[in-house]
């Protein structure tokens, strides 16, 4: 059994910043990658950013230059620093873990960007 605990979501004004965290625990032998996806109402879930065990990163086009993904391998934790947030970034953000037994999703954390 694997658990992903996300935190850091909330309400922020346009131009503001938030930092999301996701800690993985449970029956994990090897983590291959962790990442963040988001889903806005009425839209499909989309890639935000991923990071591999070797720290290779990949970003969705809409967040490049504004968001930064990082990880702490010792803590099995991935972070997402979000700067210059805009109303279109409003969504539920989901953490995803890719590991030796497959993949797992977190429960999601709401990010709302509004004045």
**What's the pLDDT tens digit per position in 20-68?**
999 999 989 899 999 999 999 999 999 999 999 999 999 999 999 999 9
> Can you give the pLDDT at residue 13?
98
The arithmetic mean of pLDDT across residues 92-113, rounded, is 96
C-alpha R_g of the chain? 13
Kindly report, residue by residue over 81-95, the tens digit of the pLDDT.
Answer: 999 999 999 999 999
Residue 113 CB partners (closer than 8 Å, separation 6+): 11, 12, 13, 14, 16, 85, 86, 87, 88, 89, 90
> Can you give the pLDDT at residue 29?
87
> Can you give the pLDDT at residue 100?
92
């Amino acid at each position: 059994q694997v658990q992903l605990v996300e935190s850091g979501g909330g309400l922020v004004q346009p131009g503001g910043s938030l930092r999301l965290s996701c800690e993985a625990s449970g029956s994990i032998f090897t983590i291959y990658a962790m990442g963040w996806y988001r889903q806005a109402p009425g839209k499909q879930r989309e890639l935000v950013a991923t990071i591999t065990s070797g720290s290779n990163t990949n970003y969705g086009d809409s967040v490049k230059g504004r968001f930064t993904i990082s990880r702490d391998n010792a803590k099995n934790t991935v972070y997402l620093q979000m700067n210059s947030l805009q109303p279109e970034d409003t969504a539920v953000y989901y953490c995803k873990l890719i590991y030796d037994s497959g993949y797992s999703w977190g429960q999601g954390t709401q990010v709302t960007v509004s004045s």
